[in-house]
Amino acid sequence: MWKPEDPHPYDALEYHLQIPREWYEMGRIAPLRHNVFCFFPNGVEMQYLLAMHVRGGPWAAMYQCQFFSLAWSVLTAAAVYGAIRQLAPDCKLGAPAGAVLALSTPWLVMLGSVPYTESALAMYTALAAAWAMRAMRAESPWRPMLIGGVMAGLACGVKYTAVPMVLLAIPVVLLIVAAANREVQRWWRPLAAFLVVGGVVVSPWLIRNFAWTRNPVFPLAMSTLGRGHFDAVQVERFRLAHSPTEQDRPLLHRIGRAGRVIFADWQYGYVAWPVAAGAIAIAWRRREARFLVGYLLVVLVVWVGFTHLLGRFYVLTIPVAAMTVGLVPRRAWNVAAAGAAVLAVCLSMPMVHGPLAHFAGVAQNGLFGLDDLSYFVPPELAEMDRPDARVSLVGDAEGFLYRIPSSRLRYRTVFDLPGDATDMYEAWMGVKKADAKGLIVLNPAEVERLSQTYYKVPGLRDYSGPTDRPVILKR
């Protein structure tokens, strides 16, 4: 839907839907050495897998999986609503204003319409932060902190970035606030419980990875905890791909990129950040205000210093920023917040509609809700339904588009290409060119792009055919 914007369909077709599809067809959960993303926490993908079982197949469930993302976005707004009602129970406009402010942000609209993971991450983050603030107002912080720890652990089960951005960030900020109020003695045990409970909730993914690779966070920390089945070239390729570009590595450039892709980017909607800044400035004396600004800053530090600077990686803070509406109980402020929420909707609608404008004609022809994905598959592959046909993807890993058993579909993600491959056939298919058999879907443009983008990926050497379209080779 949003191509070429992020979220791009490639990730959904390469692993968010493809990994549970393969597990469904295998009848078990097992490591997929051709798809490194199966080693990530799969808290969302497990729900997609459950939907596939309930609906009777991967393609029967694909729109239900898409609906999950929408539901998580709506539930994120509901969490914001509930948190603001707790912060300012007498203000009738504050809670709906904050919920609308969060839900109308283009990022949540876009991520809520595709089978990705970030809308679930935003929901769990919102719940963890809301329970942390409830603990700050409770007579005893134990119960809210335990529940918040569960939410933080579930967030970590969605995405590795939640470990520093949720599980560690929330107790760090709470500890700083407690120290400022001379309450460390009262808080250190509930904070430790938050960490322990969160760690227990995320531990199944770590235990699984340890059993598969002896590295609990594979494919992260491969240089220190072990590289599993990866060779040295694959380790370096993954590291470089998940590091800032050479241009963005200096600290000032990282900070500048944060300004461009977070605070001045249309996908964040322009409204939420000024509203959050105004609320925090007015209510600075409240402990909750210090917690919220501290959390936003700590996550920003992690984003700047320890990620590869994708704007999408800061999306989990959108509901937290929207919660700041509840810091100011004054009627005038809540009227202004409601006006800001209306403004956010008015700005978001044309911004979101823009990327879809080119899609309108196709939509009228019935693309939305399409059941038959052969629309996306080259007609030359009509014979792939033969029980003896084997299809190999070269330069492409969008396996979910191919409705043949996974046992007859061969593909690799770019990170799974072996470092010692001598040509594109050996890299993508695992065999020499002379031994490559079956139907080969060659995407020359992608092979060349990936070879120029990623470390030691073979290009189109010895290929002399057309490069402007996918080519079907029969061998």
| pLDDT value, residue 358 | 66
Contact 9, 1 (CB under 8 A): yes
Per-residue pLDDT averaged across 410-425, rounded?
Answer: 95
Q: Is the pLDDT of residue 108 over 80?
A: yes
| pLDDT value, residue 156 | 98
Query: Whole-angstrom Cα distance, residue 167 to residue 151?
Result: 9
- What pLDDT band is residue 415 in, cutting at 50, 70 and 90? very high
| pLDDT value, residue 239 | 97
Least confident of 111-115, 305-309, 434-438: 434-438
DSSP 417: S
Contact 261, 311 (CB under 8 A): yes
- What pLDDT band is residue 464 in, cutting at 50, 70 and 90? confident
CB atoms within 10 A of CB 452: 9
Per-residue pLDDT averaged across 35-50, rounded?
Answer: 98
pLDDT, tens only, 326-365? 999 999 999 999 999 999 999 999 998 877 776 666 666 5
Q: Is the pLDDT of residue 1 over 80?
A: no
Q: Is the pLDDT of residue 109 over 90?
A: yes
| pLDDT value, residue 363 | 61
Give percent above pLDDT 90 in the chain.
83
| pLDDT value, residue 229 | 97
pLDDT, tens only, 436-461? 888 899 999 999 999 999 999 999 98
| pLDDT value, residue 367 | 58
Long-range pairs, 47-56, Cβ under 8 A, ≥24? 48/16, 48/17, 48/20, 48/115, 49/20, 49/23, 49/24, 52/20, 52/21, 52/24, 53/24
pLDDT, tens only, 59-90? 999 999 999 999 999 999 999 999 999 999 98
DSSP 8: P
Give the length of the chain: 475
Mean pLDDT over each residue of the chain, to the nearest integer: 93
Q: Is the pLDDT of residue 381 over 80?
A: no
Query: Whole-angstrom Cα distance, residue 238 to residue 414?
Result: 9
| pLDDT value, residue 376 | 77
Q: Where are the domains of the chain?
A: 9-358, 373-474
- What pLDDT band is residue 473 in, cutting at 50, 70 and 90? confident
Q: Is the pLDDT of residue 366 over 60?
A: no
| pLDDT value, residue 313 | 97
Three-state SS annotation for 300-356? HHHHHHHCCCCHHHHHHHHHHHHHHHHHCCCHHHHHHHHHHHHHHHHHHHHHHHHHH
